[in-house]
């Protein structure tokens, strides 16, 4: 075997060895790109060597000929030589190998997520710690510890890889508060949050999440969580889609309001402070005025105003509901229209006063389903009990 044959065989051997040492994987996007790049580099290098050898062999043979630069005599029956075509080298096919399971960078299991301390966005109730917290992997039945209800793996952002979306819960009273947080791994493989995909808000309780075919997640959200004596039939559920829009995580599809959209408007509640008069027969009395105004573009649903209990803070009691009792709702208000109610209240003579909250409850015109509001920030207010 000549020296040139050895070089060609060595080059082919290197190519086969490189392919054998780099088995097919089932990687994430980044790993797949690295594998493809490596194989292309090996193939190009091998073909370059073969091409160089194809050129080098005839040149070296010609230089070694004793006739030097003089061509050998042509035989009498020789044909006029035509153009010489260089052979095209064929790469050796890679043998099929079983795939090795490789977890993509952003795919984090529930167990893995619960085994490391992470920083997460604060819950709306601010009850559960959110800084360097180790999340429970099941309901701890604790008022002060967040847990992971579910994880799904989906492409949440602009890159081709998958990330992890986790539904996190924090118990408060009878029902939990909720949020969906996106997690990924950094260059060192450390789990890190990359943003809040869905946060609990006004009439927005996150009940479940699942992978969305177009990327992102679909969240099952409800306007309330039935508990105590409230029937589950009062809950309204909707499927809303969320994903990265190039700037932030946001809702990309599904309904945006609960109830009849034609009755969604901006109702505002206000309550005047109460000034109590002098003590008479061991009591101090005063009045408060409750006003509800429709500042929005549509006729409203039926409504009611509730108040916080002042018994412990103010040494007194006010009616819990304006306009009657629970279940007694006022007629809808047209755009620009207002409704007022003056309520007399009495407190013990030794009261020091205090602050009380008030809130709107709005339901459908012909059903008891809640209706969203265009400005939920003015659906609640606070007023003070003052001494005259």
Percent of the chain with pLDDT strictly greater than 70: 72
Q: How far is CA 53 from CA 1, 27, 68, 165, in A?
A: 15, 36, 21, 55
Higher pLDDT, 128 or 39: 128
Which domain-ending residue is among 233, 256, 279? 256
Q: How far is CA 26 from CA 35, 93, 380, in A?
A: 10, 19, 54
124 and 226 belong to one structural domain: yes
Residue 95, both tokens? 């043998």
Instruction: Find the mean pLDDT for residues 277-290.
Output: 93
Residue 98, both tokens? 């079983």
Confidence of residue 312 (pLDDT cuts 50, 70, 90): low
| Segment among 3-12, 132-141, 324-333 with least mean pLDDT | 3-12
- Alpha-carbon distance of 27 to 101, in angstroms, equals 8
> What is the chain's mean pLDDT, rounded?
78
> With 90 as the cut, is the pLDDT of residue 120 above it?
yes
Beta bridge pairs of residue 208: 220
To which H or E segment does residue 313 belong? helix 311-314
Q: Phi and psi at residue 29, in whole multiples of 5°? A: -60, -45
238, 241, 245, 248 alpha-carbon torsion, rounded to 10°: 60
150 and 36 belong to one structural domain: no
Residue carrying the six token digits 């009940």: 207
Go through the chain and tell me how many residues it has: 388
Instruction: Find the mean pLDDT for residues 302-317.
Output: 80
Closest CA to 345 of 386, 291, 290, 284: 284
194 and 86 belong to one structural domain: no
What is the pLDDT at residue 217?
A: 97
Question: Which pLDDT tens digit goes with each residue over 147-202?
Answer: 999 999 999 987 888 999 999 999 877 889 999 999 999 988 999 999 999 998 88
Model pTM greater than 0.75? no
Higher pLDDT, 117 or 47: 117
Q: How far is CA 217 from CA 56, 65, 179, 300, in A?
A: 60, 74, 13, 32
279 and 249 belong to one structural domain: no
DSSP string, 52-91: HHHHHHHHHHHHH-TTTTSPPPPPTTPPPP-PPPPP---P
Q: Are 46 and 38 in contact (CB under 8 A)?
A: no
74 and 151 belong to one structural domain: no
What is the pLDDT at residue 104?
A: 54
117 and 222 belong to one structural domain: yes
Angle between helix 29-64 and 3-20 (nearest 10): 180
What is the pLDDT at residue 313?
A: 67
Q: How far is CA 341 from CA 274, 287, 330, 356, in A?
A: 14, 10, 11, 17
The domain in which residue 346 lies consists of: 263-387
Q: How many domains does the chain have?
A: 3
Which domain-ending residue is among 43, 72, 101? 101
Instruction: Find the mean pLDDT for residues 351-368.
Output: 90
115 and 252 belong to one structural domain: yes
What is the pLDDT at residue 92?
A: 42
What is the pLDDT at residue 317?
A: 72
- Alpha-carbon distance of 133 to 117, in angstroms, equals 5
Confidence of residue 264 (pLDDT cuts 50, 70, 90): very high
Q: Are 168 and 196 in contact (CB under 8 A)?
A: no
What is the pLDDT at residue 192?
A: 93
| Segment among 66-70, 201-205, 218-222, 318-322 with least mean pLDDT | 66-70
| Segment among 140-154, 259-273, 315-329, 331-345 with least mean pLDDT | 315-329
DSSP code of residue 300: -
18 and 80 belong to one structural domain: yes
207 and 336 belong to one structural domain: no
302 and 377 belong to one structural domain: yes
251 and 267 belong to one structural domain: no
CATH code for the domain in which residue 318 is found: 2.60.40.1470
Which domain-ending residue is among 37, 72, 101? 101
Q: How many CA atoms, within 13 angstroms, populate the side-chain half-sphere of residue 165?
A: 30
235 and 364 belong to one structural domain: no
What is the pLDDT at residue 175?
A: 87
Question: Which pLDDT tens digit goes with each residue over 126-140?
Answer: 889 999 999 999 998
Burial degree of 10 (CB within 10 A; 0-12, 13-18, 19+): exposed
| Segment among 76-90, 173-187, 206-220 with least mean pLDDT | 76-90
- Alpha-carbon distance of 34 to 31, in angstroms, equals 5
């Amino acid at each position: 075997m000549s020296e040139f044959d050895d070089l060609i065989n060595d080059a082919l051997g290197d190519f086969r060895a490189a392919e054998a040492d780099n088995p097919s994987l089932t990687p994430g996007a980044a790993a797949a790109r690295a594998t493809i790049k490596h194989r292309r580099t090996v193939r190009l290098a091998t073909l370059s060597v073969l091409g160089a050898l194809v050129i080098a062999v005839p040149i070296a043979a010609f230089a070694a000929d004793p006739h030097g630069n003089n061509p050998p005599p042509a035989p009498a029956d020789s044909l006029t030589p035509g153009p010489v075509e260089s052979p095209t080298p064929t790469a050796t096919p890679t043998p099929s190998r079983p795939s090795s399971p490789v977890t993509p960078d952003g795919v984090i299991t529930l167990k893995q997520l619960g085994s490391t301390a992470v920083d997460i966005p604060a819950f709306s109730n601010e009850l559960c710690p959110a800084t360097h917290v180790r999340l429970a992997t099941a309901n701890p039945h604790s008022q002060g510890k967040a847990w992971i209800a579910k994880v799904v793996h989906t492409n949440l952002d602009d890159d081709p890889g998958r990330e992890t979306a986790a539904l996190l819960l924090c118990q408060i009273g009878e029902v939990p508060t909720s949020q969906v947080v996106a997690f990924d791994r950094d260059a060192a493989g450390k789990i890190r949050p990359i943003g809040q995909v869905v946060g609990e808000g006004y009439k927005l309780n996150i009940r479940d999440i699942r992978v969305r075919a177009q990327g992102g997640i679909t969240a099952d959200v409800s306007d309330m969580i039935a508990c105590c004596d409230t029937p589950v039939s009062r809950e309204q559920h909707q499927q809303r889609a969320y994903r990265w829009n190039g700037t932030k995580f946001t809702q990309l599809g599904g309904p945006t309001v609960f109830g009849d959209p034609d009755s969604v408007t901006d109702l505002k509640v206000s309550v005047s402070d109460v000034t109590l008069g002098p003590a008479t027969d061991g009591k101090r009395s005063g009045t408060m005025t409750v006003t509800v105004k429709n500042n929005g573009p549509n006729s409203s649903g039926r409504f009611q105003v509730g108040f916080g209990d002042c018994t412990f803070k103010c040494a007194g009691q006010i009616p819990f509901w304006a306009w009657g009792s629970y279940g007694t709702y006022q007629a809808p208000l047209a755009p620009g229209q207002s409704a007022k109610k003056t309520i007399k209240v009495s407190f013990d003579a030794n009261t020091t006063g205090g602050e009380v909250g008030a809130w709107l409850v709005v339901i459908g015109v012909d059903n008891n389903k809640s209706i969203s509001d265009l400005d939920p920030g003015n659906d609640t207010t606070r007023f003070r009990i003052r001494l005259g």
